[in-house]
Structure 1
Amino acid sequence: MSPKLHIVQATQRRAALYLRMSTDRQKYSIENQSCALYAYAVEHDIEVVEQFCDEAKSGLTFEGRPAMRRLIEQVKSGQCGFNSILTYDVSRWGRYQDADESAYYEHLCRQAGIEVIYCAEGFDAYEGPISFVLKSLKRTMAAEYSRDLSQKVTDARWRMAKAGLHTGSRPRIGLCRAVVNKDGVVEGTVEDGCCRHHPGDQLMIRPGPRHEQVVVQRIFRQYAELRLSIPAIVKGLNDDPAARVNGRCWTFSMVRMILIDERYIGNLVFRSFHQTGQIKRAKMPTRIIRHEGVFDPIVPLSLYQAAAKRLSQTWKAWDKASLLDSLKEVYAENGKVTTQILNSRCGGPSSTTYAKHFGSLVNAYLAAGIQPTKDCSWVARRAANNSDRKKMMNDVAATLMAQGHSVQMNYKECILDVDASWGIHIKLVRAKRLKTGFVRWMFELVDAHRTDLLLLLRLDQTGSHVEDMYLVPTLSIRRTPDHVVLGRVNNLGTEMYRIGAFSEIPPLANRYLADVEDCMAHFGRTQQDVDKRFSRRRAKQPDPALEPSEAARTKEARRINRIRSQAGGKVRRASHPQLSATPPVPRTDDVRHGSKANIPRI
């Protein structure tokens, strides 16, 4: 008998593409890279299954490249559907100032069994140590190119600043960019969003339109003479339509930056925060150039100095040592430290300042040797919950994007906008054991979080493990006046929404949206009608469409008289369930109690 032959087929190579361009002015960079990578994949019989693209992202840092971070996270998770990564060259992978950092991310991929291929480098032609030497050399050259270019740009801006020229982008309100030719003659101004007319023209800062100057003078006068606070000034500007510039709303930082800008008294100040060989911006300027009296001031010098004096008394650069001394002084005066006491002190650091320097007020108390009188463990739990919620949103978004959907994430409201057509609100609910011994999951659904779907993740009592998930249409959630309660076992109307994985979300969402469209078409309703009815319900206004007609009132009166005659006398309105002014609210307990479900079948 001849032995059996086992034919082993070679595993097909599946690859993901990584593309990057540094600025949005490189119009065809992404297209050129994509064409080159697809040509390489076709030539080497590689199937492209996914694409990661960082558009207008610098290659100096890993944190500023969301596509790169998502790629490395998939590689670390071991759940990626590819075994190779194609990128154009070493510089597209990154221009890290530390060449070892670029090698580290490639090592992570190789450790997970994923090969990083630089299609335009030709490293495959060399074998052994020569390939590693060439890669190290290329990484160093890519970092040096970025470092050298940064130094050249900084020196050019420094020379322009010495000549009194403008080196930045759009100036603040009340100022404009004037076009100056080679002879120093002003030829016109450059509007917002426009560029110079000729390459030889230079830009200088000059006073802007008169109505904008009036707004700037109003800000200085209200702050220095009327002694208004910055939030009060912001509110007054936003309430006045004439004070808005280009339709934008005023913010706290916008007003504060105007109050410290010396250009409003005719001075030009250029500060350089560049440090050669370092990526992060320096905290203090390394070089300063000052030109005084370049043009007529918009704000009188006395008014500017009065505002600067008040700012110096209000704003102070605190370090940790001075913050701890101030905290100990507050504790010695009051015998306790609270947020209200810190914020009410004139000239002292606020509670936000302590939280910014120490991470939280509790950490500041402990660093100063002050023991909190209350249990503050909820602070750490809240931080952990925020981290878990963000991680869960990233996981759901990654699953949806892997299936070809575009996702916009709103971390503040925990809402994912999918394909700009439907939204999903993610809510993590921890289990709570009641005094009766039953375990319940209670949560609130505010109107601001009412999207198309609710992804409810039920956690255990420790909050570290997800027990199950429900994908619920928000229109089908029936709430009690304060919150929704779910038990460990619910009836069919609730359990029908249980899902087992995030990959089940898109098909269920599409089916739900199709059902909603069918229902709206069947009943002759439009989305505008639904929105109007929902807004009336939020404002507690009566809906004209729900008001009973005259025939319906007559029929109801006859029914009430018939019930009264059968009862043999007058029946109290609240004693008969059919005559109750409001329908009974269903209990939100477990199905073992025989109640209705919170989330009924649609």
Structure 2
Amino acid sequence: MQFGHAAFDCILVFDVSRWGRFQDTDESAYYEFICKRAGISVHYCEEEFKNDGSLASVIMKNLSRAEAADFSRRLSKRVFIAASYGVSLGFWQGSSAGYGLRRSTVDEHGNRRVDLGPGEQKHYKTDRVILVPGPQSELDVVRRIFTEFATRKKTRTEIADDLNKEGIYNSQGRPWQMQTVNILLKNEKYLGQIVYNRRSYKLQKPPIDNPHEMWIRHQNAFTPLVSPELFAKAQKVLSEVKYGRRRSDEELLSQLKALWRRKGHLSRDIIQADKKMFSCTAYARRFGSIMNAYDRIGFDPGPRFHFYGTGEKANAVIQSTANELIGELQRWGERATFLPELNLLTIDGALTVVIATAWSVADGTLDGRHHRRWHVRKLKFPRADQALIIRMQEANASIMDYFMLGTKNLPFTKDRKLRVSELKFADYRHDRLSSVLRAIYDKLRQSREVQSSR
């Protein structure tokens, strides 16, 4: 719509609340302003005012927006209170029951009515939903998972692999993964307990992990699938592996250095293959990247791997380039905005340019020397009109040159990776940013000519 390609010229809305019950009423006004700027009018059918920009319509519209936001707040509060009360009585408030459990309805007297299948809802408003044990075959699998993990016979990954080999799938009919086994092991519902309000997702705000004192519990809500002793033993093992127990930086680095001495080298495969080691993800979370951890112990993986850990630097290079382009375009009288979430530069609503970086990587040897190639980081918005690729020098310390070409001409692979070697760099290369600006201006002029001819 913002690019002038909308197949409509107006939007009909039942009332202001249907346009959106935004907690910040300015957000509703912002979306309406975008439509207005693009020549799309918004009409509220049920409202008493006419959306014509008059003082009366502006006042009434803002009042209606505030009322819509307040309605959402009050409704959210009522829903939360009702759900909390239901949990306190032992009723299930979730959707799927999970592996080894089933949802069942009971009437107002507590008499069990019927079991519910996936996606099914209760038939009567007075009914409530409870959890009940599932088929014996699933109960046996749940107890097997807890037992094998708690006795340290198998890891979560090994348990998942064994179940998949035996043709046993999870509650969604999909193969087991380490994470799904991990979720099962941590869930207190296998103790017969219902826990509510562990996380909050209110009013479209980012999810928040609530402290334990805010959790709402109901113990002995249904028959437990595992004993409290077995569950506690599994939790103890969980606290001792990977992320559970907090280790000092020195312990993590000492373990990594010891592995280096044993193997003579370090890589992701070597780290992941050692079951006693913390994962690469754990090191990346603690030290910012696996390369930073390597630096702390004095290990150099070789020039080929110096590319890794450049994410923050890439964002800084892209942001700096975008700021420079916007400054020059504004001097030319053009309106330009940059959306860092997509690395997307939008110019006067007529041209979009996604910006990416190409980092130098040493890959293998050629005549005793490292063969140099450039790796293009993933385009965040491949549907843009043009792609501006910033190529770094061999040491990745500064910008070497720029390449700008249509995104439709980029040779993507099936996994959406970009084959740099297939690009004809000479045809799209620019030595300076001033040359890129002239190319952008030419594309902008062509885009306007096409739009005016329609």
1:312 CA displacement? 1.4
Paired positions, count: 364
The corresponding residue for 1:465 is: 403
Give me the CA root mean square deviation. 5.4
1:281 aligns with 2:211: no
CA distance in 2, matches of 1:186, 1:383: 59
1:293 CA displacement? 3.1
Extract unaligned runs of 5+ from structure 2: 261-265, 320-338, 351-355, 361-365, 367-371, 376-384, 392-399, 413-420, 428-441, 444-454
Contact 1:85 1:117 in 2 (8 A): yes
Pairing of 1:57-76 with structure 2 (within 5 A): 71=1, 74=2
1:264 CA displacement? 1.7
Contact 2:164 2:176 in 1 (8 A): yes
The corresponding residue for 2:224 is: 297
CA distance in 2, matches of 1:301, 1:472: 58
The corresponding residue for 1:380 is: 310
1:212 CA displacement? 0.9
The corresponding residue for 1:98 is: 24
1:309 aligns with 2:236: yes
Residue 68 of structure 2, aligned match among 142, 154, 157: 142
Pairing of 1:181-580 with structure 2 (within 5 A): 181-243=107-169, 245=171, 247-271=173-197, 273-274=199-200, 279-285=205-211, 287-314=214-241, 316=243, 326-327=248-249, 330=252, 350-353=279-282, 355-356=284-285, 360-361=289-290, 376=306, 379-380=309-310, 461=391, 464-467=402-405, 488=426
CA distance in 1, matches of 2:141, 2:73: 42
1:124 counterpart SS class:
coil
CA distance in 1, matches of 2:48, 2:257: 71
1:215 CA displacement? 1.2
Q: 1:182 to 1:485 in 2, by over 3 A?
A: closer
1:241 counterpart SS class:
coil
CA distance in 2, matches of 1:277, 1:485: 46
1:328 CA displacement? 5.3
CA distance in 1, matches of 2:57, 2:388: 51
2:123 counterpart SS class:
coil
Letter aligned with residue 403 of structure 2: H
Q: 1:97 to 1:245 in 2, by over 3 A?
A: closer
TM-score by length of 2: 0.61
Contact 1:339 1:351 in 2 (8 A): no
Which segment is superposed worse, 237-246 or 224-233? 237-246
Matched residues, percent identical?
27
Contact 1:177 1:189 in 2 (8 A): yes
Q: 1:251 to 1:393 in 2, by over 3 A?
A: farther
Letter aligned with residue 327 of structure 1: D
Deviations 1:423-446 (A, max 9, x none): xxxxx99699xx9xxxxx9999xx
1:178 aligns with 2:104: yes
Q: 1:192 to 1:118 in 2, by over 3 A?
A: same
CA distance in 1, matches of 2:240, 2:6: 59
CA distance in 2, matches of 1:99, 1:244: 43
Q: 1:363 to 1:277 in 2, by over 3 A?
A: farther
1:302 CA displacement? 2.2
1:281 CA displacement? 2.6
1:138 CA displacement? 1.4
The corresponding residue for 2:449 is: none
Q: Which has the larger radius of gyration?
A: 1
Letter aligned with residue 310 of structure 1: V
Q: 1:116 to 1:378 in 2, by over 3 A?
A: farther
If asked which structure has higher relative contact order (CA below 8 Å, sep 6+), I would say: 2
1:204 CA displacement? 1.1
1:310 counterpart SS class:
helix
2:22 counterpart SS class:
coil
1:103 counterpart SS class:
helix
Q: 1:194 to 1:109 in 2, by over 3 A?
A: closer
Letter aligned with residue 351 of structure 1: C
1:240 CA displacement? 1.0
1:165 counterpart SS class:
coil
1:222 CA displacement? 1.6
1:151 CA displacement? 0.9
1:309 CA displacement? 0.7
Deviations 1:305-338 (A, max 9, x none): 21111011225469xxx78xx3356557877997
The corresponding residue for 1:117 is: 42
Contact 1:179 1:204 in 2 (8 A): yes
Contact 1:177 1:206 in 2 (8 A): yes
2:91 counterpart SS class:
coil
Pairing of 1:17-56 with structure 2 (within 5 A): none
CA distance in 1, matches of 2:344, 2:53: 43
CA distance in 2, matches of 1:288, 1:429: 45
2:50 counterpart SS class:
helix
1:248 CA displacement? 1.9
Contact 2:194 2:219 in 1 (8 A): yes
Which segment is superposed worse, 172-181 or 357-366? 357-366
